Amino acid sequence: MKNKKLQSARKKILHRKTLKSKRYLFLKEIVEENPDYIEALEVLGDLCTKSGDFEAGLAIDKRLAFLQPLEPIHYYNIACDCALMGKKEEALMYLNIAIILGYSDFRHLKEDPDLAGLRGDKRYEELISRISSRRIK
């Protein structure tokens, strides 16, 4: 019985990986044909980051920030990419830009596992303080 469950779990994992890679290839093809397709870039960037390809995710998120320079979520995502790569200075800089542009999801900012490497840093705590002071109490 255990072997059947194990085989079933392996099949599910392989199926997810196959779907993920098919989705990745599909989105990559769309973006190659339409390099300014915002929605496809957003999904592709998220997929790259979640699969551990932080460099590709960062490149896509920077492209999105270029295409929509006043959209705070793109800078937030760049900050996450940088934090995941251990680039603390860059992560804090982009997080600051996101906040200046209006990023205000305080709860997500405090709980996002992508930013775990920044927690405890005095500058990160100052950013948290600044964004929390904007919230309506």
What does residue 136 show for φ and ψ, rounded to 5 degrees? -80, 130
Average pLDDT, stretch 11-20? 48
- Confirm whether 19 is domain-assigned: no
Residue 18 has pLDDT above 60, yes or no: no
Q: Can you give the residue range of the structural domain that contains 136?
A: 70-137
pLDDT at 134: 63
Residue 45 has pLDDT above 90, yes or no: yes
Residue 65 has pLDDT above 60, yes or no: yes
Q: Tell me the residue length of the chain.
A: 137
- Confirm whether 118 is domain-assigned: yes
Asked if 109 contacts 125 with a C-beta cutoff of 8 angstroms, the reply is: no
- Confirm whether 133 is domain-assigned: yes
- Confirm whether 44 is domain-assigned: no
pLDDT at 67: 97
Helix H or strand E segment including 66 = helix 54-67
Read off the pLDDT of residues 90-106 as tens digits, 9 standing for 90 and up.
999 999 999 999 998 88
- Confirm whether 23 is domain-assigned: no
- Confirm whether 84 is domain-assigned: yes
pLDDT at 110: 87
- Confirm whether 53 is domain-assigned: no
Count of domains in the chain?
1
- Confirm whether 96 is domain-assigned: yes
CA distance 107 to 91: 18
